[in-house]
Amino acid sequence: MLFLFPSEFPSCKAQDPEQTGKKIKIRVPPPLLDWKTVNEKMPWNIVLLLGGGFALAKGSEDSGLSIWLGEKLTPLESIPPAAIALVLCLLIATFTECTSNVATTTLFLPILASMARAIQLNPLYIMLPCTLSASLAFMLPVATPPNAIAFAYGQLKVVDMAKAGFLLNIIGVLVITLSINTWGYYMFNLHAFPSWANSTVKP
């Protein structure tokens, strides 16, 4: 819509008394937004990153890859659920240091949901802490734009950021797993396997 709306009201040029009879020229103002500005200022890398993450998650779901990977993780059924949540939170927190939060969650959540259904565990018990763990990007400058800004202007070294970020990641994972196993366990009714998790995906 910004390409259609003018930046100002159209106006007619003042008519010269000596040029009576000539056509009045109407000056058409430029639009609020033009393609040149969009092409130069638009962060296309973010658009492609988000779109690629959604396409990858949708392709994994429609092709059955998420279900297949989830079924391959059924040996985790012998492990206590609290240990499963802790290990997966550590995995997601490590993976998100190299990719964006959106790409990490869109890639892992369908797989984790299929795994939880395969071992008859409430999917929210796995998906909620892993989603929160995807935001624990504190160690590397490339993990998130705020880290890159602080690294560029704060005269920091990667080692310094990694040391502080590692401690924050450990604290964050422990707080998340503790919360999901205490008040979150009863608030979200995680002890019961929900009926909506019994639905199967069409091949």
pLDDT tens digits, 12-46: 555 555 555 556 666 677 888 888 888 888 777 76
pLDDT at 46: 67
User: What pTM did the predictor assign?
Assistant: 0.68
pLDDT at 181: 93
Is residue 47 within 8 A of residue 59, CB to CB? The reply is: no
